[in-house]
Structure 1
């Protein structure tokens, strides 16, 4: 469970930031476009009243703030709050209108209605198709998600998410269909093209690393990658001419050094001064090391 969360849901720790549950200001103290979030501990513990690890949104205004944040609401949604000036975007775009269509109403719901809706949902669910189209279009167009087609797909995606609640299935127009997918999406049964953006660079580097590690594991009969990185070899399928477990571990770790050195060099290229092998100031490397340590320790602490 913990490893799955690290792989799928790991978040970058931000010192001047928080991940908070959104609640409504029932007192109507906050005005439009105001929020309440305590970012420092009060001197007197009694000063902290009702809300702990919460962000309070106003009940007054033309449009609620949560809906402007990717169509959120106050039904259990969490919000990321960052007050580090270096991470504040230089430009703020107009929020999209995520207002759901009016749900279809039935006076008396029968078992037949439930069965009909279930079949309709299975046959008409287009959420995955829309999400894939948005990802492919955002990669294809130079301006990414700001392109008109991507904005239309974002609205359709919102409608598809609300489909189980409203009963309204979004129509997926033919002009928004994808003819070619970026290669990092690995749609082997569809036409593809070589992406020139960062997702494809990351995929290629990861694929090369996986191939080298897999070859190394097959050579020595090691079952898992964690055994290679940790040096703790549970068992080797391939017969090794070394009897002592300590010697086997040392031999395998020595053999893995060239792989680690090669990919560490590729990783550190980002921190080299252009057209040289001189690395950028030490402080940048320390900041990155601290970030990785914070992520790892924070995930372990949460679990």
Structure 2
């Protein structure tokens, strides 16, 4: 986070009263801790964080899924709707730290290879967590079901497997044979869940299916692309030629990803919400989607570096001058993506390899932060004396970006 986001704001508030705290994996009912937040003036220099007490029968962090504060992230809420009616925590599970395996000699490369392969082959945490979801859904007792409690204990051991070397095998009687529909397994493996997750899943899925059937066309027509002239800035012309070359390269690689992973639409890859990929087994499809997301993330980072590369003389500029140059370059990237003549040129180019079926629009938004700067500045120029809340917000953001 930049310095602008590190300075305390006047709107900061100390949360007091009952709060619910948890961290993943959260399988045992006692992993959700109901605690009382208090105001300690001596700690007011800390914000956007949790401060746990040092004294007590047992660390609250250990009560919450056996956390050892090695970079764990917590969920915390003080919304009364999410606090259990009893306003009490369930008895936490005992998370005794496993004995760490020690070698009586120096670690060799063969030890590292053996450790890595054993953990790859015997990794069972995901399967245990999935089984917990199934049994909690099937049982009227939910996570309090004895099978879920047993799975929570197995998960705690599996989490520490890389440290302790203790392999966890899930008992056959706990392995699911069918899965609730909201887990997205194949139809022959699924049943309709009667609980809230199943009902929500089906409502969302039905709404999406109706929308998808009503909009079978997977392309953007040129007439549908709105060009915002506010994002044109003086001096951007000198970046246009380079911007077009970069866009051609980016689009080509992105189209390659769409073809490689058999995905229909650009926005699926950009948003990470991938729905048109062919059906594989649930596990394989998840892995393939993650590979695609990683591939696109790498592509985006690569072109962000291209955007930020300005040449050796750029370092001699002041910060304000650098921002102006970046805004000009961002404007050029936007123009070659959205301006009508460039859209037409892009469609003609893609028609050779892509049957003209799509107009690629994500290239411009690699520099979204600088496009936002341009838009905010333009809004301020148009109405610099406005007292409307949205304009006040615009002026505030322009100073901070």
TM over 0.5: yes
Q: Does the alignment pair 1:195 with 2:193?
A: yes
Show CA shifts across 1:15-60 (max 9, x none).
968999xxxxxxxxxxxx9987548xx7xxxx66653333332333
- Is residue 217–residue 223 contact of structure 1 (8 Å, CA) maintained in 2? no
Distance 1:48 1:178 in 2: 48
* 2:72 equivalent in structure 1: 77
5+ long unaligned stretches in structure 1: 1-13, 21-32, 236-244, 246-299
* 2:126 equivalent in structure 1: 128
Residue 15 and residue 146 in structure 1: after superposition, are their counterparts in 2 closer, same or farther (change >3 A)? farther
Structure 1 residue 83: deviation in Å?
4.3
Residue 109 and residue 36 in structure 1: after superposition, are their counterparts in 2 closer, same or farther (change >3 A)? farther
RMSD: 3.8
- Is residue 101–residue 166 contact of structure 1 (8 Å, CA) maintained in 2? yes
Q: Does the alignment pair 1:98 with 2:89?
A: no
* 1:214 equivalent in structure 2: 212
5+ long unaligned stretches in structure 2: 1-12, 22-33, 227-339, 341-396
Residue 105 and residue 89 in structure 1: after superposition, are their counterparts in 2 closer, same or farther (change >3 A)? same
Residue 83 and residue 118 in structure 1: after superposition, are their counterparts in 2 closer, same or farther (change >3 A)? closer
Structure 1 residue 146: deviation in Å?
0.4
Give SS of 2:207's match.
helix
* 2:322 equivalent in structure 1: none
Q: How does 1:35-114 map to 2 (within 5 A)?
A: 37-38=38-39, 51-83=46-78, 85=80, 87-91=82-86, 92-107=89-104, 108-114=106-112
Distance 2:219 2:132 in 1: 37
Counterpart pick for 2:224 among 214, 224, 233: 233
Show CA shifts across 1:115-150 (max 9, x none).
111111111001111111011111011111000110
Residue 74 and residue 150 in structure 1: after superposition, are their counterparts in 2 closer, same or farther (change >3 A)? same
* 2:172 equivalent in structure 1: 174
- Compare relative contact order (CA 8 Å, sep 6+) and give the higher one, 1 or 2: 1
Larger % of helix: which? 2
- Is residue 154–residue 168 contact of structure 2 (8 Å, CA) maintained in 1? yes
Residue 144 and residue 87 in structure 1: after superposition, are their counterparts in 2 closer, same or farther (change >3 A)? closer
- Is residue 132–residue 148 contact of structure 2 (8 Å, CA) maintained in 1? yes
Show CA shifts across 1:252-282 (max 9, x none).
xxxxxxxxxxxxxxxxxxxxxxxxxxxxxxx
* 1:204 equivalent in structure 2: 202
Distance 1:168 1:159 in 2: 7
* 2:351 equivalent in structure 1: none
* 2:366 equivalent in structure 1: none
Distance 2:94 2:72 in 1: 18
- Is residue 184–residue 200 contact of structure 1 (8 Å, CA) maintained in 2? yes
Residue 81 and residue 203 in structure 1: after superposition, are their counterparts in 2 closer, same or farther (change >3 A)? closer
Distance 2:197 2:14 in 1: 26
- The alignment's TM-score, normalised by the length of structure 2, stands at 0.43
Larger radius of gyration: 2
Give SS of 1:117's match.
helix
Structure 1 residue 73: deviation in Å?
2.7
- Is residue 15–residue 38 contact of structure 2 (8 Å, CA) maintained in 1? no
- Is residue 139–residue 197 contact of structure 1 (8 Å, CA) maintained in 2? yes
Distance 1:126 1:48 in 2: 41
Structure 1 residue 204: deviation in Å?
1.1
- Is residue 66–residue 95 contact of structure 2 (8 Å, CA) maintained in 1? yes
